[in-house]
Amino acid sequence: MGTLFLEIHFKKAVTTSSHLKRIMIEPILSLSLCVHANREVYALLLGSGISRSARIPTGWDLVLDLVRQLAHLSEEDCEPEPRSWYEQKYGEEPDYSKLLEQIAKSSSERNQLLRSYFEPTDEEREEGGIKVPTQAHRAIAELVKNSYIKVIVTTNFDRLLEIALRDIGIEPTVISTSDSVEGALPLQHTKCTIIKVHGDYLDTRIKNTPSELAAYDEPLNCLLDKVFDEYGLIICGWSGDWDEALRDAIRRCKSRRFTTFWAARRRLQGQASELLNWRQGVFVPIKDADSFFTELNEKVQALEELNKPHPLSAKIAVATLKKYLVDDSHRIRLHDLVTQEVERVYEATSVERFPVNTQFNEQELIRRLNLYESISEILISMFINGCYWGQESHQSLWINSLDRLSNLSYIDNSIRYEPWHNLRLYPALLLFYSGGIAALANQQYNTFYSLLFQPIVKNVNETYPAILSLSTTAVLKSEIARKIPNMQNRKTPLSDYINDLLKSSFQELLPDENKYQLYFDLFEYIIAIIYTYELQCQFQNYYSFGQPGRFAWKRWYTKHLNHLGDVNSSPKDKMEKANWNCELTKVVDFLLELGYFQGVKEEFLKIQNFYGERIDKLNWD
């Protein structure tokens, strides 16, 4: 309880080192709070310690082993000091590139030799944990996936981080040479950038010796200056003793925008201690890299869960909304209440938080759905009550709100992954359903009609009303929606999922579940009919039709929904049929009075018959 209290109490306060000095809490808690409160503001600086448990050799280990192989080929004994033997024999310090050329003559031979140090054999895979991503690599990948970490600087040659990221569908931008610095996208435009300051193991230009580690090329120095100036640092697995050029890059940065955290098993000394003091940073004592990054990821995720709106928050918002709805003198307060919540949702669903350029996976789908729902929870409750109780003078609030959340920032088609791009409209779809069902339930037909046609959804050079843009299959295709838990065998998976999701939000207004189901089905049916009509009238499309909702496969569905049931119908079925026909007639009469369906009931019946015939041909088995 004490830890949880501190995490809540200091969540927003802990963002700079000056705050941290005033707050006497464990460094790992401070770090977790900072990472959670400042998404993609912290960069990682990783050394060989991060791969120690995977038994990956350090750069110097690699050089010494190559010296031993060279001595073996020369039939000489280089022990106990391989470096001294090499310097005495060749008159210079061991050079990685020269060693490789002497031991393996061809590029293919060199390639195979290097792979043996960094890639697991079949036996090593069977043994487990050797030369494969560690718990630390996996935890870091999760932090990247959840948009907490974007930039990683590493002295390591291995590719374990890249493997861990690809395993969860993220293709990182890897910078390992000066050439790749100049050709890389800006850091803010990538999901993750890995800067390998000493190179990659398959590139013979990797840096190992003291002279090689003393200076970097200008392009790499400029990139490091940018990282160390604009990002906070989380350092782990790096001693700071040998990498002179990297130390110089850190010292060049005089800004203290964000805190530096240095995680290590023992109190820092020498060069590392001086650097930490220079950055005015915080020492984080840890057992090892695996447990450190695992704990950091778990604490950040715990804060994410804690950040979900409390149920009481939605109740307070709705109570305030109702108070403002009944008194026109509060119209400005009502406007501010709704628009501020809309803007909160808009900002919280940004592409930075929900990137669209990562590969699809089932776990990420569920995480995003839950997060979108959590973010939208308060606004959904406000929409339901506003569209149920509000008057015609309030309609612009709901229209403008839906319009705003249906038009998120533009994303270049070349860098987006379609399922994630389409899913960005999920909060707007939830509001569309919430407001539409609520309006039908209280016969607010003008509000219902306005929600269908007045919010305009922009798509590159085209614009369409909400009725033609917000649908379950447009937001999430059925084959993907069936990956949601308990939706695997559903005929209309996202429709069923939203039905279950919104049920509790309608509990106060529609406590009778049969009533709720009636208006949910009615909403889906009417928008399907109107969608079909719009296609025929505006686009002369006489083949497509509105997507079927849950109503289409229910056991009492026969041919047309205004002719439900048969002579063998149960009393419950007959009651459902009577209620359905009564509510449907009211809506259709309103639409005809507006002049919709050309103001002629026969036109509605023609579209209804057409739609019923198309639905009948679908296989619901």
For the residues 351-356, what does the mean pLDDT come to? 83
Kindly indicate the confidence band of residue 18, based on its pLDDT and cuts at 50, 70 and 90: very low
**The pLDDT of residue 417:** 65
**pLDDT higher than threshold 50 for residue 565:** no
- Looking at 115-124, 268-277, 422-431, 493-502, which range is the least confident one? 115-124
The SS3 call for residue 264 is strand
Strand partners, 232: 42
Across 440-498, the runs of DSSP E, i.e. the strands, are: 456-459, 462-465
3-state secondary structure 151-171: EEEECCCCCHHHHHHHHCCCC
Element (H or E) spanning 252, and its range?
Answer: helix 244-252
Residue with tokens 């569908």: 169
Categorize the per-residue pLDDT at 337 as very low, low, confident or very high, splitting at 50, 70 and 90: very high
Confidence bin at 558 (pLDDT 50/70/90): very low
CB 300 within 8 A of CB 143: yes
Percent of the chain with pLDDT over 70: 86
Token pair 């024999």 in the structure block, residue: 89
Query: Where is pLDDT greater, at 313 or 113?
Result: 313
Sheet holding 173-175, edge to edge: 173-175, 193-196, 149-154, 42-46, 232-236, 260-264, 282-285
Listed residue (408, 401, 399, 502) closest to 451, CA to CA = 399
The token duo for 245 is: 């050029």
Determine the Cα–Cα distance for residues 210 and 324; give it in Å rounded to an integer: 71
Residues 6 or more apart from 563 whose CB is under 8 A from it? Answer: none
Residue whose pair of structure tokens reads 């782990």 in the numeric block:
236
Cα 402 to chain centroid distance, Å, stands at: 22
Q: Is residue 264 a contact partner of residue 240, using CB atoms and an 8 Å limit?
A: no
Determine which helix (DSSP H) or strand (DSSP E) holds 282, and give its type and residue range.
strand 282-285
**Over 50: is that where the pLDDT of 188 sits?**
yes
Whether pLDDT at 479 is above 70: yes
pLDDT at residue 440, rounded to an integer:
97
Question: Which pLDDT score is estimated for 16?
Answer: 39
Q: Does residue 563 have a pLDDT over 50?
A: no
User: Which amino acid appears at position 302 of this protein?
Assistant: A
pTM of the model as a whole: 0.61
**Which residue is associated with the tokens 């040659």?**
157
User: 559 pLDDT band (50/70/90 cuts)?
Assistant: very low
Please give the Cα distance from 507 to 196 (Å, whole number).
55
DSSP H helix total and E strand total for the chain:
29, 9
pLDDT of residue 6: 34
Tokens of 153: 């600087």
pLDDT score of 49: 87
Residue with tokens 């041919």: 559
pLDDT at 503: 94
| Confidence category of residue 5, pLDDT binned at 50, 70, 90 | very low
Residue 297 has pLDDT above 90, yes or no: yes
Q: How far apart are CA 322 and CA 336, in angstroms?
A: 14
Report the pLDDT averaged over residues 311-335.
90
Mean pLDDT of the chain, nearest integer:
84
**Alpha carbon distance 456, 172 (integer Å):** 36
Specify the pLDDT at position 536. 86
Contacts of 285 (CB under 8 A, 6+ apart): 27, 263, 264, 265, 267
